[in-house]
Amino acid sequence: MYLLEVRDITKHFGGIRALEEVRFRVKEGSIMSIIGPNGAGKTTLFNCLTGITKTTKGNIFFLDTEITALKPHNIVRLGIARTFQNIRLFKEMSVIENVMVSQHCRTGSGLVASVLRNNVFKQEEKTIREKALEYLELSGIEDFAEVTAANLSYGSQKRLEIARVIATEPRLILLDEPTAGMNPQETLEMMGLIKNLQGLGKTIILIEHDMKVVMGISENIVVLDHGVKIAEGTPEDIRKNPLVIEAYLGKEH
């Protein structure tokens, strides 16, 4: 079953063609990687999938629902969440608050209840806090729950981003360079974490430059170059594909 279907999406910024009729499908429960040289349109693609940028043409379907024109907060509610290449936390909030605020879209009782602080609300607050701790544990940063996010180490901040993503209870997780700037040990741990997410039934798309990570965990790879999809296939296929080698290394003369 396909969870996500991208049908010929095109994105132009003025004269720049960031994406040109890109199409692919993602199987539920799989890990897919998007690779390509800098400026290939990978992050733009993520922006389109999450509703931050509107596509110029084309359609995106998530579980048979068209999400092309939806607002970001509605797309999150349907079950797509993402991280950023350069970490974007709510820096002045505590670690646990970062995760709690991300459960916003999944919680029921409204404003009136939160002002009155009635029992339903208190019970729900308690559940949210417990769940948040669970997510922190899953990401391995439960010890820092009350620390202000800005004071976390780089690796822990990356983990917090993932905890926050899980908190929105997504079915599809988009990770933008999850191992960027990490040392080999941290990279290994991050790969383990991504595998764990897959084990929880999540579908994952990652943008990644580290070929060890890409080849190690993805089942399917899409290669973009200058906004065009130049190849798609298993890690084995991609490794041998002459077009990909050319895009990365240039033509042999």
| Residues that bind another protein in the complex, under the rule CB under 8 A | 50-52, 71-73, 76-77, 81-82, 84, 88-93, 97, 100-102, 104-107, 111, 114-115, 125, 164, 167-168
- Comparing CB distances to another protein, the nearer of 21 and 97 is 97
Q: 223 forms bridges with which residues in the sheet?
A: 35, 231
Smallest separation, CB 93 to another protein (Å): 6
Smallest separation, CB 104 to another protein (Å): 5
Smallest separation, CB 127 to another protein (Å): 12
Smallest separation, CB 107 to another protein (Å): 7
- Comparing CB distances to another protein, the nearer of 101 and 193 is 101
**Radius of gyration for the chain, computed over Cα atoms and rounded to the nearest angstrom:** 19
Q: Contact, 188 vs 14, CB < 8 A?
A: no
- Comparing CB distances to another protein, the nearer of 132 and 213 is 132
Of 51, 57, 44, nearest to 69 by C-alpha is 51
Cα(18)–Cα(85) distance, integer angstroms: 18
Smallest separation, CB 188 to another protein (Å): 27
- Comparing CB distances to another protein, the nearer of 10 and 107 is 107
Backbone angles phi, psi at 31, to 5 degrees: -115, 125
The DSSP code sequence of 113-150 is HHHHT-HHHHHHHHHHHHHHHHHHHHTT-GGGTTSBGG
- Comparing CB distances to another protein, the nearer of 45 and 223 is 45
First to last CA, the chain: 44
- Comparing CB distances to another protein, the nearer of 77 and 209 is 77
Q: Which two tokens stand for residue 130?
A: 């417990």
Smallest separation, CB 174 to another protein (Å): 10
Q: Is 250 exposed, middle or buried (0-12, 13-18, 19+ CB in 10 A)?
A: exposed
